[in-house]
Amino acid sequence: MGKRQQRDHFTAGRVAAFTCPPDKQQAIDWDGKQPGFGLRVTANSASASRTKHAAP
């Protein structure tokens, strides 16, 4: 398995600045403070929050 990347906490500025790379259809950024909480941005700049739940 790969090494986990250190992730920063979401801030208003970080969320506002997050964009989808031009060569991708979507990009997802995960929060470093709240496990399983992320932000998805699409190529047309639509954004949505995401949660990732682990099975018990």
**Which residue stretches of the chain are H helix?**
12-17
Which residues, other chains included, contact 10 with Cβ-Cβ below 8 Å and sequence gap of 6+? 31, 32, 33, 34, 37, 39
Phi-psi region of 36 (alpha: psi -120 to 50; beta: other; left: phi over 0): left
Indicate the pLDDT class of residue 36, thresholds 50, 70 and 90. Answer: confident
Name the percent of the chain lying above pLDDT 70: 82
Mean pLDDT of 34-46: 88
Confidence of residue 12 (pLDDT cuts 50, 70, 90): very high
Please check the confidence at residue 1 and state whether its pLDDT lies above 90. Answer: no
pTM above 0.75, yes or no: no
